[in-house]
Copies of this chain bind each other. A is one copy, B any other.
Amino acid sequence: MSDAVPEPEQESMTIIAFSGDLDKLWPTMILSSTAAATGMNVTVFFTFWGLFPLVREDVKHIGKDKLTRAMSQFNPPGFQRAHLSKLKFGGMGNKMMRQVASNEGLLPPEELFEMCQELDVNMWPCQMTMDLMGITPDMMVPGLGEPVGAATALQRMAKSEISLFI
């Protein structure tokens, strides 16, 4: 492209990943990887229940006291142990949904997440949720951005063509 022709400004999308449910992680990761692959600047702000998938799976205990440890038991670390929001089938729903996806060649959320990282999607952990739940940076997967607050997420959303709360 000639220097005289201005590059079109890059479009951007910002997703607030509030939910840690498996069936919500998929659209977040599908939209993010697809948008990034088509040239958009993508940012995902992981907050509340949505932060737990970013915790390393070998982390045994999340929480800084009895209360946060109790709450964290129902939010296991990592993408792989995320639960469906419905169709639980006595704990089997997660596995069944993953099998359905695998049969059709849809990557699991943790692999879409890695693809997103290769495509330079910004992964922003929510500082407030980390403080609330006693999650420290060393407990989280590598390749994330600096923890930020709502103000930073809002600034990014205000400049994004697409902002979604998932």
Contact in complex: B99, A74 (CB < 8 Å)? no
Whether B87 pairs with A106 at a CB distance below 8 angstroms is no
Instruction: Report chain B residues within 8 Å CB of A18.
Output: 24, 27, 166
Cβ-defined contact, B74 with A96, below 8 A: no
Q: What 0/1 pattern do residues 146 to 166 of A give for CB contact below 8 A with B? A: 000111011101110111111
User: Which residue of chain B lies nearest to A20 when distances are taken between CB atoms in the complex?
Assistant: B86
* Residue numbers in B under 8 Å from A86 (CB-CB): 49, 74
Tally of contact residues, A, Cβ under 8 A: 55
Q: Inside 8 A of A103's CB, which chain B residues have their CB? A: 65, 67
A23:B48 contact, CB within 8 angstroms: yes
B154 touches A67 (CB 8 A): no
Q: Map CB proximity to B onto A118-154 as digits: 1 under 8 Å, 0 otherwise.
A: 0000000000100111000000000000000111011
Collect the chain B residues with CB atoms within 8 Å of residue A49's CB.
23, 86
28 contacts between A and B (CB under 8 A): A13-B154, A13-B157, A16-B164, A27-B48, A30-B150, A31-B150, A31-B154, A34-B151, A35-B154, A38-B154, A38-B155, A40-B154, A65-B103, A67-B99, A70-B96, A71-B96, A71-B97, A71-B100, A74-B86, A74-B87, A104-B131, A157-B162, A158-B161, A158-B162, A163-B163, A164-B165, A165-B165, A165-B166
In the complex, A115 Cα to B110 Cα: how many Å? Answer: 38
Q: Find out whether the CB atom of A132 lies under 8 angstroms from the CB atom of B158.
A: no
Q: Are B27 and A16 in contact (CB under 8 A)?
A: yes
Contact of A68 among B24, B47, B100, B149 (CB under 8 A): B100
